[in-house]
Structure 1
Amino acid sequence: MPAHESRDHVASLDLLLTFLEIYRAGSLSAAAQRLGLSQPAVTGQLARLEEQLGEQLFIRTSRGVTPTPGAAALASRVGRPLDEIRDVVSTANAQPTLYGTVRVGGAAEVMSLRVLPALAPLTGRGLCVHATLGLAEDLLSLLDSGQLDLVVSAVRPTHEALRAVPLIDEEFVLVAQPSVAHTVDPERLSTSPAEALAHLPLVTYSAELPIIRRYWRTEFGHRPPNPVAVIVPDLRAVLAAVTAGAGVSVLPRYIAAPALASGDLVQLHHSDVAPLNTLYLATRRQAPDNPALPLLHNHLRQAARDWGSL
């Protein structure tokens, strides 16, 4: 068999395995967690399979996906053979059991939506992950004192005892509910965006307006003059308040993306260069003698390549 044909067959097998997980899980997000992939990666694989087959396999709904008759027929044909192949491969490639605990810290949002789902394959091999949620500076102090082993930090550590490598970039977007966005003069927004937005109340992570202040200074050159409507220390709660119409906010795109896609939110301002913030993987220079720590470190860096950007 020519090499290119062999590669095509392998790719198709991967796509069928992803299809089967979606069919059984009933949603793209659940299938992504089972496969240890990002949801965009699963969505892309499904799109490629539908393109190869020339038909739609699932209908997207608010609760997940509903298989088409073609999907049901395909699942009945490939389900058992794929399970048998997977059993053979997993037996041949069985990875060694992991032991011990790795203490990981990070912001609640990125830990919940990205980091902990990505670590599921390692916990399936026996590793215990002890997660601590909090603010970057507090978590870096715990890392410095030896109470944590690794921190996913939105702040590059300055502690001499710590080292950090870039993990992934967050992209920030200014968002509002459509009815709130309609109160903004579009012509004024294009010429004097800060003035056009000044009447809108802010929904913020803390009273210091950390994300919003940085966005305003980067994009508009000064601190926001807007009144503050809601302060809540969880970006998912910020999202909920903005979606309910409490005000506007700046959020990482990966948090706002589902609401933007559904039309529950709109992006108020578009930058020529996307505002970014780098997340880092921070560890101690004198790392503990824990063989699972470098494995977890490398696993997260590989997972971040699949995420692309946040």
Structure 2
Amino acid sequence: MRDLDLLWTFLEVHREGSISAAAARRGLSQPAVSGRLARLEEQLGEALFTRSRRGVVPTERADALARRIGPHIDALRQALAADDDRAAYRGTVRLAGAADLMAARVLPALAPLTDRGLRLRITLGLAEDLLSELVDARVDLVVSAVRPRLRNVTATPLADEEFVLVGSPGHARTIDPDRLDRDPVRALAHLPLVAYAEELPIVRRYWRSEFGRRPPNTVAVTVPDLRAVLAAVVAGVGVSVLPRYLAEPAIAAGSVEVLHTAGVRPLNTLYLAVRTGGLADPSVALVHRHLLARAREWDVL
């Protein structure tokens, strides 16, 4: 079984193109994955990967080995996982994330698992607070809008969010289009903001990336739920920056308008974070695997 473990680890690295992503899939630390690869390369007498800025690049020998062993490893893992899968659906997973994203995307994606008996316990809040709870083992998985840089936490990219600056039609009519082209910060400065938090994490990031500075606008409302932010914008309380997936229905209905068109789509990567070794729990691994699979269908949110 020791050689099988080396080959399984190799196959995950080959498929993911990344040691960190393979470590997350296997529920191991990055040094543990690197160590397994080194032992396999020592046995084979040659390197299987070369390092690149984006991860690792397989050699021709690695590609040939992956083609040979892939179907056999998958079949063996499927046979060995039957009992683990049954146990996984009997477990409970403590999942955490932002309220709006959990409601709009994550919980609907996990409905098939709960239909088969899996139990979920959801914690809602800001990413930094939830990641602290992950480190303290109070939750098992976090869908995070910021990239975790914590010891003993492994993060896998989940999906990208596109952001848009929106306001009510009434607020849109107060913007001078010529000034918006010449000096967008001044053109928008009279508009009150509706923000997700006092630090203006989403709005500030948009202003800095698009306009090169922080927003000088007054903040009318802060509320830690983007659905509530959208409701306030529709009501004319102020303007805000929201994920396109959340704002799109209101844009289509004419309840809000896009106030500024970015030259390059402003994106933010969402991460699925787990404690190192946390995927050894079959229920946590089940949710982790299912969310990554479903997120491939989302494209850009």
The answer as to whether partners of 2:144 and 2:270 remain within 8 angstroms in 1 is yes
| Alignment of 1:205 onto 2:229 | no
Once superposed, what is the RMSD of the aligned Cα atoms? 1.3
Secondary structure of 1:281's partner? Answer: strand
Give the deviation of 1:290 after TM superposition. 2.0
Q: Which secondary structure state, in structure 2, belongs to the residue aligned with residue 303 of structure 1?
A: helix
**CA-to-aligned-CA distance 1:144-203 (integer Å, 9 cap, x gap):** 111111110011111111000100011110000011100001111122211111111111
> Which blocks of at least 5 consecutive residues in structure 2 are unaligned?
1-84
TM-score by length of 1: 0.68
Correspondence for 2:165: 174
> Structure 2 residue aligned with 1:227, among 202, 209, 218?
218
Question: CA shift at 1:292, angstroms?
Answer: 1.8
Give runs of aligned pairs for residues 21-170 of structure 1, distance below 5 A: 98-170=89-161
Provide the rounded CA distance (Å) in 2 between the counterparts of 1:247 and 1:109: 19
Query: Which structure's relative contact order is higher, taking Cα pairs within 8 Å and 6+ residues apart?
Result: 2
Q: Name the SS for the 2:278 alignment partner.
A: coil
CA contact (8 A) 2:193 2:221 kept: yes
How many aligned residue pairs are there? 216
Q: Distance in 2 between the 1:135 and 1:228 partners?
A: 19
Q: Does 1:217 align with 2:208?
A: yes
- Specify the code of the residue in structure 2 equivalent to 1:249: S
The question of whether the paired residues in 1 share the 8 Å contact of 2:279 and 2:285 is answered with no
Query: CA 1:162–1:109 in structure 2 vs 1: closer, same or farther (change >3 Å)?
Result: same
SS of the aligned residue for 1:279 comes to strand
Rounded to whole Å, the distance in 2 between the matches of 1:238 and 1:146 is 31
In structure 1, C-alpha distance between the alignment counterparts of 2:224 and 2:270, rounded to whole Å: 18
> 1:185-196 residue pairs with structure 2 within 5 A?
185-196=176-187
TM-score relative to the length of structure 2: 0.70
Q: Which structure 2 residues correspond to residues 279-294 of structure 1 after superposition, within 5 A?
A: 279-287=270-278, 289-294=280-285
Q: Between 96-105 and 108-117, report the one with greater CA deviation.
A: 96-105
Percent identity between matched residues is 62
Opposite residue 118 of structure 2, the aligned amino acid is L
Aligned counterparts of 2:179 and 2:86: Cα–Cα separation in 1: 61
| Structure 1 segments unaligned to the other structure (5+ residues) | 1-94
Contact 1:96 1:125 survives alignment (8 Å) = no
2:252 to 258, 261, 268: 261
Mapped partners of 2:216, 2:107: distance in 1: 37
Deviation at 1:286, TM superposition (A): 2.2
